[in-house]
Amino acid sequence: DIDFDDDGRQLVLDWVTEKYGQDRVAHICTFGTMATKLAIRDVARVLKLPLPEADRLAKLVPEAPKMTFAKAYKENPELKKEKSSEIKLVADTLKFAETLEGSVRQTGVHACGILISRDPLDEHIPLMPTKEEHLYTTQYDGRFVEAIGLLKMDFLGLKTLSIIKETLENIKHSQKLEVDIDAIPGDDQKTFELFSCGDTTAIFQFESPGMKKHLRNLKPNRFEDLVAMNALYRPGPMEYIPDYIDRKHGRKKVEYDHPMMEKYLKDTYGITVFQEQVMLLSRHLANFTRGDSDSLRKAMGKKIKAMMDKLKVKFIDGCKANPKFIEGCEQVKKEPDVLIEKIWKDWEAFASYAFNKSHSVCYAHIAYQTGYLKAHFPAEFMAANMSRNLNNITDITKLMEECNRMGMNVLGPDVNESFQKFTVNKEGDVRFGMAAIKGVGSGAVASIVNAREEGLFNSVFDFAERVNLQTVNKKNIEALAMAGSFDSFGTMKRSQFFGSMADNEPTFIERLIRYGHQMQLESSNSQQSLFGEVMSAQTVKTPDIPEVPEWPKIVLLEKEKALIGIYLSSHPLDDYKLEIENFTSREFSLRDINSRIEVLKGRDLTFAGMVTDSLEAIGKTGNHYCKMTLTDYTDSYTFFFFGKDYVEFSKYCKKGLFLMIKGQVQERYKSDMLEFKIRNIELLDEVRKNNIKSVTLQLPLQAVSSELIHEI
């Protein structure tokens, strides 16, 4: 099971194919089965059940993981009724779908499983071609592949490794420094301070709010603490974290069931955290062989009861036959039989969450490396993270917030400073990459960067004169202008690029491109004009800039968002800062409704946002309903309105409205799932008028003067 950097994974596949031979390396097949909904739709298609009916039946199946017909009938009696429907086609569809449920429907390719064999694979296993690839795929799935003695390797792509690689490239580019990530000190004070403060946003495996809270309490000061936290922060062992913290800081005594156990549990303050500790202790206490200890790990991890029972007898006999164990029992004044039983019982309980230390060490090592880079090269590290999360708006927003917290600006694209990806400028701010703009390809960016090597552009005209207009075309320049890449020249508003001097005349961009072509022709002095004379500098005039007003703020921001995925130069909600700061639940946001709604159960909350999507429709019962997606600074959430709520709130389901919503997190009707139930909606424009009755100013007495009163 090996993780490679995302970009390098294919290179590894090519390498093993080259090394072992194409006939000895293959992908592993997966079988897609007919799930409940899919079985209904497939059978309906064959029986020619009308599509609306097939849809209706499929929608009666509840949305839940590992759904089966048995579960569906139990959860939705309506579906069960359809089994005895008077319409024969409907009843038959369900009958046959139930029979076919779980049958293999199609084959696929395992996302990361690769088979490497000593002999040509077709001597052991049937193979088939893989679509659009030169490697074959097995016709047996993973379980049977291993059972016949072949070696299954998992080659995974790990984004964090790509982020580390890209950070090092950023450092080299912005600071002319070569950092060897494998040679960084393992006891770096600044890195451990970052973990101790919980400043771990974007740090691999350590960025959840719960983990941050525990890190602040733990104050890790050694690598082993990170390894242990990586293993403990999971359902089950999580309950031991407070105990681990108290023992580390001396608030609780570190105790061992048996003195011999200290040797392997000292690092984790007497708490068993890893499978390897159990393996080593079984050899130490009961003289297990290495093979026995590995069988114990396997039996514990996979809960193989028969093997556990067999090994228990061996463990009891081994402990009793070990003089050092008996001697230790006398020291702690415990009966050997009782102590052996206690140790074994603890191990059995531990089995349900035992973690592999080698895995935890690797992941903590990567976390330490990312922590080191964030502590010493914050801008370069954040730029790499943003480059790698470009298509994930939630992550980009979170990373931008972190940049602001760290005192760094995230600046929009700029033809004089931007490169392909996010980079760091001379002031230490993160600069948007031009290739991140929709409609600007990497070829156009390479051409701009190439032209810029002769010196920075001093105007849009200079830009048009110097870039290759075959590569940087009209579509590219339009996208660059709309995303604000020419804003730093300070001479033009974005709307002016798309304006024209009169109706039916070309836009400024079209005239700018024509000007650029003419200047480039002239500078080459190889082309003559229509009338035969060589064009001179005086004959080519810079195009006039049309006098058009700037787009309204919301239009400008929407165009910006369409091109770069986020509101960057400002946010549409910025105009309502006063309302948001004074009348909403400031400590919570729509992101909390999406990510940790359980914490908010029973709370009355107020949110402000903008309607970014809406729909009005008729449901399957024939009743009207509507839905709207509300977006705030952090995330989006979709609300549905039925019945009375539809009558009351449908007027607000209009794209582009700015709203303040009040409601409560409660259980959904006839379900134990939670939802945010809206009680009241108000236009943000009306909030000041409806809620601010008076304003109180507090001033130091000595500051009050007649001038100040006049000014107020």
Q: Which residue has the higher pLDDT, 702 or 633?
A: 702
Q: How far apart are CA 94 and CA 57, in angstroms?
A: 9
pLDDT of residue 13: 92
Length of the chain: 712
pLDDT of residue 538: 52
Q: How far apart are CA 627 and CA 650, in angstroms?
A: 8
Do residues 44 and 93 make contact, with C-beta atoms less than 8 angstroms apart? yes
Percent of the chain residues past pLDDT 70, beyond the cut:
98
What does the pLDDT look like over 675-710, one tens digit per residue?
A: 899 999 999 999 998 888 888 989 999 999 999 999
pLDDT of residue 533: 54
User: Tokens 């291993």 correspond to what residue?
Assistant: 146
Q: Which of these ranges, 153-167, 307-321, 368-382, 561-575, has the smallest mean pLDDT? A: 561-575
pLDDT of residue 537: 47
pLDDT at 513 over 90: yes
Q: How far apart are CA 488 and CA 502, in angstroms?
A: 27
Q: CA 64, 66, 71, 75: dihedral to nearest 10 degrees?
A: 0
pLDDT at 618 over 90: no
What does the pLDDT look like over 249-292, one tens digit per residue?
A: 999 999 999 999 999 999 999 999 999 999 999 999 999 999 99
Pairing of strands 25-33, 136-141: parallel
pLDDT of residue 317: 94
What does the pLDDT look like over 567-592, one tens digit per residue?
A: 888 888 999 999 999 999 988 888 88
Pairing of strands 624-631, 430-431: unpaired
pLDDT at 321 over 80: yes
Compute how many other C-beta atoms are within 10 angstroms of the C-beta atom of residue 424: 24
Do residues 614 and 666 make contact, with C-beta atoms less than 8 angstroms apart? no
pLDDT of residue 80: 87
pLDDT of residue 143: 82
Q: How far apart are CA 199 and CA 367, in angstroms?
A: 13
What number is the average pLDDT over the span 466-489? 93
Amino acid at 412: G
What does the pLDDT look like over 91-112, one tens digit per residue?
A: 999 999 999 999 999 998 988 8
- Start-to-end CA distance of the chain, whole Å, equals 70
pLDDT of residue 525: 62
pLDDT at 606 over 80: yes
What does the pLDDT look like over 120-134, one tens digit per residue?
A: 999 999 999 998 888
pLDDT of residue 532: 52
